[in-house]
Amino acid sequence: MVEVSSLLDIGYLISATLFIFGIKMLGSPKTAPKGNMYGALGMFVAVIVTVLKMQLSDGGIEGWMWILLGLGLGAAIGYWMATTVEMTGMPELVALFNGFGGAASALVALSEALKVYTSETYEIASPIFQVYHLIPILAIGASALVGWMTLTGSLVAMFKLKGGFTIPFTKKWVRFPTWGPSWLNYVKSGLFLTGLIMILMTLNDPGNLGLIYGIVGVSCVLGILFVLPIGGADMPVVVSLLNSLSGIAAAFTGFVVGNTVLIIAGSMVGAAGLILTFIMCKAMNRELFDVLFKAFGGSAKESLTRTKVGSDPEEVAMVLDGISKCIIVPGYGMAVSQSQHLVKEFADILEENDVDVSYAIHPVAGRMPGHMNVLLAEANVPYEKLIEMDEINSEFSECDVALVIGANDTVNPAARSGEGPLGGMPIIDADKAGVVVIIKRSLSVGYAGVDNDLFYEDKTMMLFGDGKKMMTELNSALKEL
């Protein structure tokens, strides 16, 4: 039976190949759905091969109950979460899933650690002992360090994407803090070094479970401190980096259990995730180092001393009467208020009156790249109407009205000055339009914590209120004209 079991390793090769094609195809719009399918198929093959291999090994599968129960429960929860989540909650869910992946790797490492440490395998004095036998021990420590950090980091990222959380048993909503004085970086470096030293110590003392729990603790704290100082606007980059880390954790776990497909898929995702992180940073015109180690926004709240008189929807409707070009600039506020269908209705009304309507999509509008695209697609906005920032910015000078709905930092002219938290971030040139209509709940600052001069300009009309309510009123005011 040993031969059959070894032949089954070909299945892992097939699975790895499917992953390679899957990731490759996910990078292009035409092939992406197929790429995702390939990835899923690869995973299915890997699971089947593993189960078969275990069954064919000496003694067969002893833990059927655990395996079937675990797979069933996980599949049911995963299915339920993925199918019931609102489109707006998608980014949080990706962060949460990522945390689970990291936790799974870390748990496997811990489980193996308990097994190894309770057996008498690691007798360094044993005559057959070789230095490379320490590799799994090293991998257990490394997997724990990366895996637990991925879990706690992803959880913090998830709450940051949500903006806050409700305290259990009360209905009090707490905004998730962003906190990180510059000395915190030394604490983080110190913790990381401590983790590494503890991993090296496990080599000398492989029977010491206290060291492993120490690594787990250090890693959990490190994950929290790592994400805590980073502002919500940079969360997509952080989630992408954590995704890379969860891949690396899986690869280390591969070294723990001695399985090639784990090593291949894990390190591949780790590397590809890192590249994607750089691509996303580039789209936001940010340096990865700055994102991670220079606290960005959220912490410094500027007190608002200026005021602006709000307009009402009838007034705005009158301004919109008889214009020829309108550009809609959506932001996270549109996602939160679920007003994408009303935005589409607004565009339809204008188009009936021969107004040229298009949408300006900032690369980081919303909480994830592509967030706005997905939401507007849900509202049946034609693909060609969604225009990326670089292409549409030149059109604002000939645009009569720019409607900004729930966006703030991405239209803040302060970014052009090159200073402050927003400095250097490319923005949508909404301020170049003839009239700027902004739908927003208040004058409060955005994620970056920077006041927005655009709000106070004479040509700006503020509609204060919930996106959905304001769009409804604006649409009915337009119809009455």
Give catalytic residues, as residue numbers. 409
| Of residues 183 and 383, the one with the C-beta less far from another protein | 383
Closer residue to another protein in complex, CB, 79/456: 79
Taking each helix axis from N to C terminus, what angle separates 371-378 and 90-118, rounded to the nearest 10 degrees?
120
Q: Rounded to whole angstroms, what are the CA distances from 412 to 179, 216, 256, 289, 389?
A: 23, 42, 49, 23, 14
- Contact region with another protein (CB under 8 A), list: 102-110, 182-190, 452-460, 471-479: 102-110
In sequence order, what are the residues at sequence separation of 6 or more whose Cβ sits closer than 8 angstroms to the Cβ of residue 137?
A: 116, 122, 202, 203, 206
In the complex with another protein, the residue whose CB is nearer, 33 or 418, is: 33
Among positions 125-164, residues that touch another protein (CB under 8 A) are: 128, 130, 132-133, 135-136
Tell me the residue type at 281: C
Containing H/E element for 335? Answer: helix 332-337
Residue choice 194, 267, 299, 472 for contact with another protein (CB under 8 A): 267
Q: Which of 348, 312, 325 is nearest to 394 (CA)?
A: 325
**386-388 and 356-361 as β-strands: parallel, antiparallel, unpaired?**
parallel
Beta carbons of 454 and 417 less than 8 angstroms apart: no
CA–CA separation, 386 vs 394, rounded Å?
15
In Å, how far from its chain's centre is CA 36?
Answer: 18
Residues in contact with another protein, shown as a per-residue x/- string from 187 to 226 under the rule CB under 8 A: ----------------------------------------
Q: How far is the CB of 14 from another protein (least distance, A)?
A: 14
Toward another protein, which CB reaches closer, 47 or 200? 47
CA proximity to 244, closest of 215, 210, 271:
271
Q: Which helix (DSSP H) or strand (DSSP E) does residue 460 occupy?
A: strand 460-464
Cβ-based nearer residue to another protein, 153 or 449? 153
353 binds another protein (CB under 8 A): no
Query: Binders of another protein among 374-403, rule CB under 8 A?
Result: 374, 376-378, 380-384, 386, 388
Q: Does 36 bind another protein (CB under 8 A)?
A: yes
**Alpha helix stretches (DSSP H) within 85-183:** 90-118, 135-162
Backbone angles phi, psi at 164, to 5 degrees: 170, -165
Letter string b/e over residues 196-225, b meaning 16 or more CB atoms within 10 A of that residue's CB: eebbeebeeebeeeebbebbbebbbbbbeb
229 DSSP assignment = T
* Total chain residues near another protein (CB under 8 A): 124
Does residue 88 bind another protein (CB under 8 A)? no
Residue 277 CB, nearest distance to another protein (Å)? 9
116 binds another protein (CB under 8 A): yes
Alpha helices for 163-180 (secondary structure H): none
In the complex with another protein, which residue's Cβ is closer, 36 or 194?
36
Least separation in angstroms between CB 170 and another protein: 28
* CB 431 to another protein: min, Å: 22
Distance CA 359, CA 18 (A): 37
- Which of 56, 97, 285, 416 lies at the binding interface for another protein (CB under 8 A)? 97
Nearest distance from residue 173's CB to another protein, in Å? 25
Query: Residue 128 corresponds to which tokens in the numbers above?
Result: 């057959």
Residues 49-78 that bind another protein (CB under 8 A): 50-51, 54, 61-63, 66-67, 69-71, 73-75, 77-78
Indicate whether 114 belongs to the interface with another protein (CB under 8 A). yes
State the minimum distance, in angstroms, from the CB of residue 318 to another protein.
Answer: 31
Q: How far apart are CA 325 and CA 395, in angstroms?
A: 10
Using rule CB under 8 A, residue 428 touches another protein: no
- Asked if 43 is part of the footprint of another protein (rule: CB under 8 A), the reply reads yes
Q: Is 455 an interacting residue with respect to another protein (CB under 8 A)?
A: no
**Least distance from another protein to the Cβ atom of residue 136, Å:** 6
Applying CB under 8 A, among 88, 112, 316, 326 the residue interacting with another protein is: 112
Rule CB under 8 A: which of 237-256 touch another protein?
A: 239-240, 243, 246-247, 249-251, 253-256
Query: What amino acid is encoded at 91 in this protein?
Result: P
